[in-house]
Structure 1
Amino acid sequence: MKHLMRILGFVLGIVFLGWSLSLINWDSFLRALKSVDPLWTASSAVSLFLSMLLRSIRWHILTGLPRQDQGKVWQATCVGYLGIAIYPARAGDVMRMLRLQQLTSLGGGLAIGSGVIDRILEGLGLCGLLLIVLLTWQVGLEARQALLGVAALFLLAAIAAAIFVMSGHRLRFLFGRLPVLGKWGERLTRWYEESLSGLQVLRSPRRIVLALFVQGSVSTLDILACWLLIHAFGWELPLMAGVVVLVYIAAAASLPTSPGYVGVYQIATLFALRPFGIDDSSSVAYGTILQVLTLLLFIGTGLWATLNRGR
């Protein structure tokens, strides 16, 4: 399954990139790149970096770790960013969970469980933004059914996670029999017990509200980053354009992806900016700049975290 997801990530990346490049006029593409304002672009990068910081705070809230471990959660998050930049199929998510387990006293099960719920919370942010777009934006969304399908998957995952936190103890009779299967059975049983025990912190309404508030702040900064980059290209578009761009990027990035989201940003921004009258060549140029900014931040913070703690 792991190898299949990697292959699928590479294939989708190649298909998305080829599809995007087949639609552009290279003269228009290069003119759009040359028109980019450095100051607006730098402002977009700052907003993206602050969003990355808040994501680590959100994960820290979900783990229930003490406040002094916030720096370790940030380091693990940065290692995950580096993994996303250089490995396919979101392997960075696995890397950050392993790193957090190494840096803290967190058990493997809770590291995995909190990481999964953190991703589900990110998906719920996508669902909220998509709902806002559907209710307030009068222009039709392209690939609307695909967006709704991704949102539905995240909603189902959120419901499943809530059921596990509230009623997961009912599965003890099943996991209690797994150790007879050998080391993997014992490991799964241990992960189950650690996840179930650790994730009970999510029964706290205060913690859930705090995590949702941070997620709202993350989405706001991401929207701002997209909108600031729109201004870097000299386009006078409403803030809703930033929301739509983020919705498409978040939906496309939830699929098995190629390293560094190659092709994902290009195809997502192409669909997102068409309704605002931006030609395909300029849209792909916008997506390429946004991808480059993201990769520079991912690789920079990831290398810092890796060198800071050794191999």
Structure 2
Amino acid sequence: MKESTEKESGGWTFSGRQLLTTVGGVAVSVAILGWALYQVDLREAVRTLGRFGPWWAVPMLLCYLSSFLVRGVRWRLLLEPVERVSWSTSTGVIFSGYMANNLLPLRLGEIVRALVLGQVTSARVEGTLSTIVLERVFDGLILVGMIALVLASGIGPEAGGVVAYTGALSAFVFAGALLFVIGARLFPQPILRGVRSALSWIPIIEEEKGLGATRSLLRGLRSLAFDRRLLAVIGLSAAVWILEGGMFWVGLRAFSLDVGIEAAFLTLAFVNLSILIPSAPGYVGVFQGAAILAFEAFGLPEEVALSYSVVLHVLQYVSVTVIGLIVLAVYGVSLAALRRESIASEYTE
């Protein structure tokens, strides 16, 4: 049942909560981008950007896009208890989800992934979403581990500043998420009762909607097997981020920055953890602000950080968006229809 507070905006139907979330995310992006631009000498940033040779884009994209090939292998393993799919299907659908996050509000990419997979296979959406939750938990733990290793071996927490605090907070959040997933898989009824009690203290979330979402997650988690495949998933998760970290490291070389590989992986981890906060589609602003803060941990200029982040962001955004749109065209799936269905799923049980 749809909420009565739906609003039309340019052909888009939003609930009041969704509209507030969308506007708030755009405001966050604008505020962080404004802060980032205030920190830098724009003329110097443009001059720094001019040092980037376009030939560097090739190895950077090879590293980045290779990580999606590994993501496809990992998701295929996670999906086995839910639906057996080919590696090409799992990889293509992942591209469609990332494309949706770049183009649509409300972080609908994960829902779009589940919807697209449901249209090209017989996989149930709730089971698919459960695999994505597990995937995101492992991603978060790997990124937190990267920050911890860099801070322990390269720079101290006092030098890392906000990066170190973000890593500590993220470790708490993702470790809690992992415990929740394991608990939900092994003890679903106590978890459901706990969620019911918690929702009574959270007025901004409707109790029935929250319970409905929790029941869907629990049903999906019942299909997941915690066996030796998860060891492979952990290894593949590390490989995903090592490959993407290669893009960040090649980017440092492209700008002739005399820093070690730890700077690349700290920036990678901090940027990807930071884009979890609400923002405009494509993470505009948040990506740049996070890169500036990560570079500060190594004493690198803000102008270089801004130029570096713009190059990486553009390469990631354009490549994934184009490939994702091609995937939808091959599958004969309409982005407009996915948009309507994924937005509607936000306020239906």
> Taking structure 1 as the reference length, what is the TM-score of the superposition?
0.89
Q: Deviations over 1:36-69 (max 9, x none)?
A: 1223332111101011222222222111156653
Contact 2:83–2:122 (CA<8 Å) still a contact in 1? no
Pick one of 24, 34, 48 that aligns with 1:8.
24
Compute the RMSD of aligned alpha carbons.
2.4
Unaligned runs of 5+ in 2: 1-16, 196-207, 335-349
Match of 1:119 in 2: 136
Pick one of 52, 55, 77 that aligns with 1:61.
77
Residue 184 of structure 1: how far off its partner (Å): 7.5
Give the Cα–Cα distance (whole angstroms) in 2 for the partners of residues 307 and 228 of structure 1.
32
Match of 2:252 in 1: 230
Contact 2:64–2:244 (CA<8 Å) still a contact in 1? yes
Map 1:76-225 → 2, pairs under 5 A: 76-139=93-156, 140-143=159-162, 144-168=164-188, 191-192=216-217, 194-199=219-224, 201=225, 203-204=226-227, 206-225=228-247
**Residues 22, 207 of structure 1: alpha-carbon distance in 2 compared, 3 angstrom cutoff:** same
Give the Cα–Cα distance (whole angstroms) in 1 for the partners of residues 88 and 21 of structure 2.
31
**Residues 169, 105 of structure 1: alpha-carbon distance in 2 compared, 3 angstrom cutoff:** farther
Pick one of 47, 64, 79 that aligns with 1:31.
47
**Residues 155, 4 of structure 1: alpha-carbon distance in 2 compared, 3 angstrom cutoff:** farther
Instruction: Name the structure with the higher helix share.
Output: 1
Give the Cα–Cα distance (whole angstroms) in 1 for the partners of residues 191 and 169 of structure 2.
29
Contact 2:114–2:129 (CA<8 Å) still a contact in 1? yes
Give the Cα–Cα distance (whole angstroms) in 2 for the partners of residues 36 and 122 of structure 1.
30
Give the Cα–Cα distance (whole angstroms) in 1 for the partners of residues 252 and 211 of structure 2.
52
Pick one of 288, 291, 295 that aligns with 2:310.
288
Q: Deviations over 1:213-262 (max 9, x none)?
A: 10010111121110100101111210011011112101211112211110
Percent sequence identity over aligned pairs: 24
Match of 1:74 in 2: 91
**Residues 174, 259 of structure 1: alpha-carbon distance in 2 compared, 3 angstrom cutoff:** closer
Contact 2:40–2:302 (CA<8 Å) still a contact in 1? yes
| SS of equivalent residue, structure 2 residue 76 | helix
The number of residues matched between the two structures is 301
**Residues 191, 22 of structure 1: alpha-carbon distance in 2 compared, 3 angstrom cutoff:** same
Give the Cα–Cα distance (whole angstroms) in 2 for the partners of residues 26 and 185 of structure 1.
46
Give the Cα–Cα distance (whole angstroms) in 2 for the partners of residues 62 and 94 of structure 1.
17
Contact 2:192–2:215 (CA<8 Å) still a contact in 1? no
**Residues 219, 87 of structure 1: alpha-carbon distance in 2 compared, 3 angstrom cutoff:** same
Give the Cα–Cα distance (whole angstroms) in 1 for the partners of residues 38 and 30 of structure 2.
12
> Taking structure 2 as the reference length, what is the TM-score of the superposition?
0.79
Residue 187 of structure 1: how far off its partner (Å): 6.9
Give the Cα–Cα distance (whole angstroms) in 2 for the partners of residues 151 and 174 of structure 1.
22
Residue 162 of structure 1: how far off its partner (Å): 1.1
Match of 1:179 in 2: none
| SS of equivalent residue, structure 2 residue 86 | helix
2:24 partner amino acid: L
Give the Cα–Cα distance (whole angstroms) in 2 for the partners of residues 189 and 46 of structure 1.
39
